Structure 1
Amino acid sequence: MGHMREDRTKERVAITAWWPKWEPELSEYIKTCERWQKANRNHGKYGLLQHIEEPKYPWETINMDWATGLVPGGKENFNVFLIILDMSECQVESMKR
């Protein structure tokens, strides 16, 4: 479970509480809160896109992704799909879950 950003946390505290020097104390608390730091750590820059060589054989290179948040349907009420794309033939397979 994460935390809100620092500015949103301060907004919430300002609505519900007050004490002398609350803003600098809250900032200091946030800086030392291990849970907040894990949830809101700054990530480094993302790398550049890499070229993928064209595969020579079927199923040598695949892409996979989940389709989630779907409206449940069917007798099993599936609402998640695993999508697998074979890059050699652009063939798509999907599995309901």
Structure 2
Amino acid sequence: MGHMRKDRTKERVTSTAWWPQWEQELRKNAVEVELTEEFSRKHPVFPVSLVKPYFQTGEDRFPSRNMTYSPIDIVEVEYSPGPVKKIIKARKIRLNGKDQRQYLVRFKNQTEDKDKWLAEDAIPDGNLNLRIFRAFRRAKKSHK
């Protein structure tokens, strides 16, 4: 009777599942498998219900697996909202261990929510707009 039970288990294992490195049947519902080095810390005994069929993959079954794709060149488009209406504020921030002055710029035909903090060299017509901004600040301070 023990021999019959063993045959049924082996039948059950081979008919429902197959593992390429299946070592031995331990009990009616458990098998021991040989694990790859990647899973060497895992316990090698599994219930038969968890052992799934294993099919070797071939290039003919999955031809797109070995295809190499060339990376797509990403082109950054510089967004320019238009000419500067005025510079509103100035601030100093620390970037990469260096102090940098930035200016809050409002653009023509844009609302307040589109204002941007820009570095001095990133402001369109920066020299002219910065001279106007500084002159306005000096005049404002002298009237106080």
The two structures have a TM-score, normalised by structure 2, of 0.17
The structure with the greater share of residues assigned to helix is: 2
The two structures have a TM-score, normalised by structure 1, of 0.22
Structure with bigger gyration radius:
2
The structure with the greater share of residues assigned to strand is: 2
